Amino acid sequence: MRLQGTEIWRPLPLQERAKLLHHLRPFWDTYRFRIAPQIDDVIKRRIAEGTFAIRAGSIRASATQETGIAVDLRPRRSQTWERQIFDTIVIATGPAHGTVFETNPLLRQISDSGLARSDPLGLGIDVDLQGRAKDRDGHVSEALYVAGPLARGTFGELMGAPDLARHARNIAQCIKRQFEATSSASRIESAAHNGSPGG
């Protein structure tokens, strides 16, 4: 299914894509990615030792205390919040692609200039099927391409290395074709100019 992800994603209407993200994305993100065997071994050992626990829930707030970092947790399917103290917190929710124009100075400037816009699902940057960015009015750029996870709104899955490699190769081929077409047009124009009377 991973290899067919883009073919499944692209024909879906926007509303169906939004439903898919809302209902299935947590499961996809959990089961799609592989873990390194060394890390898996450590996690299994720590669980067996009782020094590591995996719990599903929500985080409401946190505060620094003398003994560590206090975090309010609400276990899944519970209405009760519990405050717990931790030595260290690692945020591993993945990249916030929906806020790249606000958090990245270069992308903010590109957006402020009207050269690119967010995709309708808030997954990154709106692009066409060749990976070309769409400006604020929806027109396609001939000079601005988006390679990688920021193009997920159009292509679907673009997080794994094989997917990224395929996507980058396709964009490189598009750029090559564009360059060849431009070079060919320039040669024809130059030949026409040199062959004209008085040229």
Structural domain boundaries, residue 109: 97-189
Evaluate whether residue 16 is within a structural domain.
Answer: no
Evaluate whether residue 118 is within a structural domain.
Answer: yes
Evaluate whether residue 125 is within a structural domain.
Answer: yes
Evaluate whether residue 92 is within a structural domain.
Answer: no
pLDDT at 172 over 80: yes
Evaluate whether residue 66 is within a structural domain.
Answer: no
Looking at residue 198, its pLDDT comes to: 47
CA dihedral sign, ordered 133, 13, 34, 58 = positive
pTM: 0.70
- Band of pLDDT at residue 195, cut at 50, 70 and 90: low
Q: Give the number of domains in the chain.
A: 1
Evaluate whether residue 145 is within a structural domain.
Answer: yes
Mean pLDDT for the stretch of residues 31-59: 89
Evaluate whether residue 131 is within a structural domain.
Answer: yes
Evaluate whether residue 173 is within a structural domain.
Answer: yes
